[in-house]
């Protein structure tokens, strides 16, 4: 058939951000020729020097591996050069889609990139598939994105000249981008036509290492699947946090025991069932709001996503109240963990950062520490808190002054924090500290565990 497409040997990635840069490198390491595009000349130069363009675990080593294999990855600031002159057969768009005031996603960057890709394709009639990876609202890919591509290219998507359009979001998290990309739970493909889907499936099967299941569908179903999957995960996370709150009011109750049991039921599953701090980061909160906005636009009852958001926000208030209940107002507080999860410096919607911010707003002296997120935290917290360069020294100082140490993000670096404390109280949101390792007289309170009337258990009381 004239519009049949095969596995592409050369692809283009538009966007060298926190997702695009490691994904491009992982693709090149899989043996595919990659041309990456970004407006940021420094990121482009870094890639062309064989260096990591962003900070992500494993990316430095991956870039070295790509270089040793013959340099299958290069970068440019020009889309037309990459798609047209570079001879790419498939282009992935991994550009920002910020949330709008209504909760939906703004397509400005995607449409700008699509128009540039379309211009390049107007100069060539070769077969090509454009893949939207950025999160968009259902109806966007078949609607304004397709219209912009056809207008700029002068070609018809799904027509006889071999122009295809797909929507294929990645279900990956910062801090584990490379692993999640290479070994996904599933590959989701929304396709304009079967030939485009065939080409993208062939590409995915070549790059991934674990033979993941592939689900192919029309464009709107794929867009909706992305939003609903993430919203389901936030619902599960929030349910676990609700169970944790209940446990805190029952002496002897332990959220880990309860969720560990219910997670064995195949209808539930154990993943994302850890009662601790609430969800944050660049995806979960906004995908949750986007599904609610979508539901309102079609007249559906979307109270559930709104309730999940409200309960999630309440976790911060509960943590702040817990700190205030176990330490005096004039005692210092140290918040350990400002990034929304270990392995990344991203603090967007981080509950550790929110706890620090709200405690500081009450007039408390607050000190913060994070292995990777300090610079980003300064942009939000400014001079409202103190910044500890040495986490261990900060624990010794704050606990020695009878203050509270809050374990908000479960970085491995904080696993031994209990043995460092000289006094005060440890508020453990992740229950990652063994009470037996605490010095005598150090107070301990864990999110999701019932305790005595004050919610504090010393080493002697816990024994």
CA 282/CA 341 separation, integer angstroms: 11
Strand order in the sheet with 90-93: 73-76, 33-37, 10-14, 90-93, 128-132, 163-167, 187-191, 214-217
The single residue of 12, 166, 247, 283 carrying the catalytic annotation is 283
**Within a 10 A sphere around the Cβ of 426, how many other Cβ atoms?**
26
**Strands (DSSP E) found in 225-365:** 333-336
Strand partners, 76: 37
**The pairing of beta strand 163-167 with beta strand 187-191:** antiparallel
Phi-psi region at 349: left, alpha or beta (left = phi > 0; alpha = psi -120 to 50): left
Buried (b) or exposed (e) across 31-67, using 16+ Cβ within 10 A?
ebbbbbbbeeeebbebbeeeebbbbbbbbeebbeebe
- Helix locations, 327-373, DSSP H: 351-361
| Cβ atoms 440, 463 nearer than 8 A | no
Kindly report the length of the chain.
463
Residues in contact with 421: Cβ distance below 8 Å, sequence separation at least 6, in sequence order: 395, 396, 399, 405, 438, 439, 442
| Cβ atoms 83, 163 nearer than 8 A | no
- Helix locations, 298-452, DSSP H: 303-326, 351-361, 374-381, 391-400, 417-420
Phi-psi region at 185: left, alpha or beta (left = phi > 0; alpha = psi -120 to 50): alpha
Could you give the 3-state DSSP secondary structure of residue 432?
coil
Catalytic residue list contains 283: yes
Give the DSSP H/E element, type plus range, for residue 190.
strand 187-191
Could you give the 3-state DSSP secondary structure of residue 119?
helix
Q: Cα(first)–Cα(last) distance of the chain, in Å?
A: 74
Catalytic sites, residue numbers = 283
């Amino acid at each position: 058939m004239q519009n049949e497409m095969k596995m592409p040997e050369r692809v283009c990635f538009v966007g060298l951000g926190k997702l695009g840069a490691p994904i491009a490198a992982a693709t090149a390491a899989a043996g595919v020729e990659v041309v990456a595009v970004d407006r940021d000349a420094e990121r482009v130069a870094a890639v062309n020097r064989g260096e990591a363009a962003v900070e992500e675990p494993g990316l430095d080593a991956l870039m070295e591996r790509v270089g040793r294999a013959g340099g299958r990855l290069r970068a440019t600031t020009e889309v037309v050069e990459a798609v047209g002159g570079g001879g790419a057969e498939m282009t992935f768009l991994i550009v920002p889609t910020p949330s709008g005031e209504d909760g939906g996603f703004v397509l400005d960057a995607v449409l700008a990139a699509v128009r540039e890709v379309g211009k390049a394709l107007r100069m060539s009639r070769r077969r090509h598939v454009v893949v939207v990876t950025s999160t968009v609202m259902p109806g966007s890919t078949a609607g304004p994105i397709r219209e912009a591509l056809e207008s700029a290219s002068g070609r018809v998507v799904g027509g006889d000249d071999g122009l295809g359009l797909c929507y294929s979001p990645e279900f990956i998290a910062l801090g584990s981008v490379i692993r999640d990309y290479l070994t996904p739970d599933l590959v989701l493909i929304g396709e304009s036509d079967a030939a485009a889907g065939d080409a993208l499936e062939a590409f995915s099967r070549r790059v991934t290492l674990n033979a993941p299941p592939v689900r192919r569908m029309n464009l709107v179903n794929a867009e909706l699947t992305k939003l609903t999957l993430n919203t389901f995960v936030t619902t599960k996370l929030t349910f676990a946090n609700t169970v944790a709150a209940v446990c805190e009011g029952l002496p002897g109750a332990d959220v880990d025991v309860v969720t560990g049991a219910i997670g064995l039921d195949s209808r539930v599953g154990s993943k994302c069932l850890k009662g601790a701090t609430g969800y944050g980061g660049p995806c979960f909160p906004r995908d949750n709001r986007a599904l609610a906005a979508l539901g309102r636009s079609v007249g559906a009852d979307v109270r559930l996503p709104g309730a999940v958001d409200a309960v999630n926000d309440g976790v911060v208030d509960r943590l702040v109240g817990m700190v205030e209940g176990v330490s005096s107002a004039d005692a210092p507080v140290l918040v350990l963990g400002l990034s929304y999860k270990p392995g990344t410096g991203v603090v967007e919607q981080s509950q550790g950062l929110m706890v620090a911010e709200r405690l500081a707003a009450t007039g408390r002296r607050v000190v913060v520490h994070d292995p990777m997120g300090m610079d980003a935290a300064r942009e939000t917290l400014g001079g409202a808190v103190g910044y500890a360069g040495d986490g261990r020294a900060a624990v010794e100082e704050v606990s020695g002054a009878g203050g509270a140490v809050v374990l908000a993000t479960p970085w491995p670096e904080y696993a031994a924090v209990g043995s460092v404390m000289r006094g005060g109280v440890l508020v453990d949101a992740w229950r990652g500290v063994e009470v037996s390792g605490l010095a005598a007289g150090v107070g301990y309170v864990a999110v999701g565990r019932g305790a005595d009337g004050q919610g504090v258990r010393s080493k002697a009381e816990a024994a």
